[in-house]
Chains A and B, each alone.
Chain A
Amino acid sequence: MNGFGDAFAAAFALIVGFDADLVEIVGLSLRVTLSATLFACLLGFPLGAVLAVGRFRGRGALTVFVNALMGLPPVVVGLIVYMMLSRTGPFGTLGLLYTPTAMIIAQTILVTPIVAALARQTVADLDAEYYETLHSMGARAGARMRTLLWDGRFALMTAALAGMGRALAEVGAVMIVGGNIDHVTRVMTTAIALETSRGELALALGLGIVLMALSLALNALVMGARLSGARLAHA
C-alpha cells in the first residue's frame, strides 16, 4: 500500500463495508470513551461546584492543583494505573489490568480534572449572578451547588465535550493499561498506532477517518442539544 490515494480507497471500502474488525474497534472505543466521560462528569461536576462555591482552607491551592492536572501526561497516568492494577499493586487481585475497565479508569483520571476545572469556572460565573438571590433565600451550600449545576447544565455540556474529546483522542494511557489486545482492548487510537507501525495504512486511515467523523458527530450532537435546550429554557 504505497500511494495515499490507494490507502484512502481501501479505508473507504472498509468503512462502507462495515468491516467486522473496524466495527468492533469503534464500538469498544465508544464504550470506553463514553463511560470515562460519564464517570468524569459524575466526579468533576460536583468537584468543580465545591471549588467554585465552597469556602474552606486550601481552596485556592486545590484549584491550582486541579487546573494543573488538566495537562496530566497520559503515559504517566497509564503508568500509575498500571502499577496500581498490576499483580503486585494494591488492586492487583481485582484482575483488571488489560481489560476495558482499566482503560476506563485511566481515562476517567485523565478527563476528570478537565471537566472539574471547566465546571468550576462555569459554576463560579453563575454564582456571581445568583449569589445574593440564593443567599437571601437562605440556601445552604449544598442546595446552592445543586442549583448552580442544574442552571449551568447547558454550559456544562461544553466541559463534558472537552473531556470526551480528550478521551476519544487519547492513546498513551490506554495502550499501557489495555495492552492493545486484539478483540479485547484494541481501540481506535491504539489500533491506528499499531497498524501504522505494521504498514497497514488502509485500516489505520479508515480508523482515523472514523475517529474524526465520530468526534465531529458527537460534538455536533452535544452542541445542538445545548443550543436548542438553552433556547427553550432561555438559559
Chain B
Amino acid sequence: MLRLVTSSAAPDSTIRLERISLRRGGRDVLDGLDLSIPRHGITAIMGPNGAGKSLALRVMANLVRPDTGAVIHGLTDPQDIALVFQKPVLLRRTVRANLRHALAIYGVPRRERRERLGELLDFGRLAAIADSPARALSGGEQQRVAMVRALAARPRLLLLDEPTASLDPQATAAIEALIRGAAHSGATVVLVTHDRGQATRLADHIRFLHKGMLAEAAPADQFFLAPKSPEAQAYFDGKLLL
C-alpha cells in the first residue's frame, strides 16, 4: 500500500497566515491577509482574478517572502510542503526519470527508490507511460505526473494552484482522485480553484479572498448554501467584482 504522507501526517496545528502584506508594482496584492487553514481535510481558496489566491499559496510554500506578517505552520522540513502549479514544469526526461529525480531530491535512500518508484507509478496510473518523455505527454498526463511527483515527498501540507485549469473532465477526474487520495492519507490539502463545481466536490472548507484580504471563511456546505459576504455572493451571482 502506498504511503503518501509522513507518519505524523498533517501539520500539528492549524496553518495560519497572520497580517500578510505584499506590495508589487505599486499595488497591495496581499493586504493584511489573515487566513487559517484547518489541519484536516481539503480547504479551497476561491476568489476572483487578482484576489491574491496563488500568491497566498506561494507565501505558504515559502516561495514568496511577504513584506510584513508571518506564516505559522510548524513545518521545518522543506519537504513537508509540496506545491503543484497550474502549468506543470516537468524535467526534460522520461516520466520514470522525473520521479526518480524527485525521490533523489527528497533524500530517499537509493535502495528504496526502485520500490517507491513502482508504487508511485501504480498510484498515478503512470506505468504505461513511464518511459515516455514527460514533455511529450498530454496536459492531463503531465499534471498527473506533477501531482505524483509532489506526493513522492510524502508532504504533510499539499498546496495546489488550480491544478485542473484547462484540463478536460476525464483528466480533471483523475487529478481529483489523486487529491482525495492525498487528503485521505492525512495530508492537509489547500486547493486554489476558480471552479465552483470542483470546490463543491472536493472541499471541506472554503476561504474566499478579495483584493488581497479574506472576505469569508466557512465550512464548504454552509458556504455554498448561502455565502455570507457580499463579495462571495456577487461572485457566485456572476457579477463583476471590481
Contacts and interface: CB of A to CB of B under 8 A. Distances in A.
Interface of A: 129-130, 132-139, 143, 147, 150-151, 232-235
A151 to B, nearest CB: 5
Contact of B61 (A136, A151, A232, A233): A136
B172 interface: no
Interface string B49-67: 0000000001001010000
Max chain A Cβ within 10 angstroms of own Cβ: one of B79, B83, B149 = B83
A138 B105 contact: yes
Which 3 A-B residue pairs are closest in the complex by CB-CB distance? A138-B78, A235-B92, A136-B83
A130 B102 contact: no
Interface string B185-209: 0000000000000000000000000
A232 B153 contact: no
Contacts of B85: 132-133, 136
Contacts of B63: 132, 135-136
Contacts of A130: 89, 91
Interface in B93-110: 93, 101-102, 104-106
A137 B133 contact: no
A137 B102 contact: yes
B93 A233 contact: yes
Chain A binding surface SS class: helix
24 contacts: A129-B89, A132-B63, A133-B85, A133-B89, A134-B105, A136-B83, A136-B85, A137-B106, A137-B149, A138-B78, A138-B106, A138-B153, A143-B104, A143-B105, A150-B93, A151-B92, A151-B93, A232-B133, A233-B92, A233-B93, A233-B133, A233-B135, A234-B135, A235-B92
Max chain B Cβ within 10 angstroms of own Cβ: one of A130, A137, A232, A233 = A137
A163 B21 CA distance: 49
Interface residues of B, number: 25
B89 A139 contact: no
Contacts of A136: 61, 63, 81-83, 85
B136 interface: yes
Interface of B: 58, 61, 63, 77-79, 81-83, 85, 89, 91-93, 101-102, 104-106, 133-136, 149, 153
B135 A137 contact: no
B178 to A, nearest CB: 17
A151 B94 CA distance: 11
A235 B89 contact: no
B93 A139 contact: no
Contacts of A147: 91, 101
Contacts of B92: 151, 233-235
A137 B105 contact: yes
Contacts of A137: 79, 82, 102, 105-106, 149, 153
Contact of B105 (A139, A150, A232): A139
Contacts of B133: 232-234
Contacts of B89: 129-130, 132-133
